[in-house]
Structure 1
Amino acid sequence: MSVASDRQTAATDIAIDPAHRRAVWLLLATALLWSLGGLLIKWVSWNPLAIAGMRSLIGAAVIGFIFRKALRFTGSFEQIGAALAYAGTVVLFVVANKLTTAANAILLQYTAPFYVILFSPWFLGERADRRDWLSLAMIVVGMLLFFGDELSLEGYLGNGVALLSGFCFAWLTLFLRRHREESSISALVLGNLLAGLIGLPFMFQSMPDAGGWVGLSLLGVVQLGLPYVMYSLALRHVRAVEGILIPMIEPVLNPVWVFLLLGETPGPLALLGGAIILGAVMFRAVR
């Protein structure tokens, strides 16, 4: 049997695996909860780095309490790497949003799949197939249409920070996938604590009001803690490329919440781009 047919057989086995199917649903649910971030952050009037730090500390406390019996802080290369990549992802994205447009920050962070496809064969022994490349191409076109009116060539520093956030997001996915046989939850707790420490100096400049604390609690538990737990669990049963491509419906869902709750309507090109992204993700999800 040829190598190509071996890969095709393996892909078919994965596609009909119930654990793989459940993992895909976990990834879609993860994207849904991640997409609440834009709306909830608007709810909190506080320094952005303070928000990033506090939601991470809340997330660490909740995850640590729920999974306290499963936590194993081994200090392994994969665990430390995942923690550093996690902290870099969440903190750098907040900084990028301060230095460039939100559209630029989101689009450039989602260069992450290119890094995953580039490093997966060497780091994980997993190669992208033609469906992965086709899905990624469709998503890039959809992203450009979706954010086309808001993209800017200004804010070079912010654009660079957003690219670095995407690089960290890619390595978070790679480390969690490689760390799947150990307690990846422990890496998330460490990453949240590190992000919290980075944001700590900015928390003492002022304090949010009661409504802000509600928003921070939702950010820490619903938008950050729970979805990253689901993400790490899903990566045990899907390849890293799938794990980075399927949640890319998140930027599309973000303005849906804004439309439903604030009445802001996206333009026709954004709707077309969103439809293309959604179609590409569904195409990849059903294999």
Structure 2
Amino acid sequence: MSVKVAVSGALGRMGRRILNIAHADPEVEIVGALESPKNAREKDLGKALGDNRFNGIPLSSNAEEIISKADVLIEFANSPEAAIEHANIAADLGKAVVIGTTGFSKEQLKELEELALKTPLLFSPNMSLGVNLLFRLVQIATKVLKDKDFDIEIMEIHHRFKKDAPSGTAMRLAEIIAQELGKPLEEIAVYGRKGHYERAKDDLGIMTLRGGDVVGEHTVYFFGFGERLELTHRATSRDIFAKGAVTAAKWIADKRPGRLYNMFDVLGL
């Protein structure tokens, strides 16, 4: 039996890739697409995309109407507020949710954790296999090197159109590092540098570059004396994120609520 999915943010860059990957998957059926009112004037997804593969699939800004048709909502709206609203509606309807939207505040992430007690919910700022392996490798490296006088810094690069900075992936890397160091992230994070001062011992620099059409690049630097370790992931196609989102949707379809899932659960990392 196929998993019925609805895609939020369907006409965006990621939404379109998810639709393509989901359409090609025999275990998935696309039953609806959710967009903002200004982007959902055309009510047929195939016509809105100019792609007859999606003819007959409803496109709407009415979240309850679209989500009610699905087993799983794949959420990639540009707005964290919209994603939270849709997740609440899905929870009320008893539908599972996979969220790839980034830029959430601490309070919003807490709300997602609470919603995960009501309905199966997975959140990951990056759903690619490679990035999630990077998360684990950074965790291991930090654990090994934290008492060896190494300085840790993060650099992330994305295309000029990305709205949130630092990226959700960079912030997740920072959270993992801070947790291994046993330090609150808000006490050690340094977002860029300017001025005349030395680096504090416990600083965790988080640097952002924006330009061109870069899909995504993240590097964590471990600076020692006489040596340097760099762990880097470079994305060259958005399909890696779309494949991860569809895989997550299939995985979560039969799971129970109880905690906020992530891609480590899906990938067994």
TM-score range, shorter chain: under 0.3
Question: Which structure has more RCO (C-alpha within 8 Å, separation ≥ 6)?
Answer: 1
Higher fraction of strand: 2
TM-score, scaled to structure 2: 0.22
- Of structures 1 and 2, the larger Rg is shown by 2
Higher fraction of helix: 1
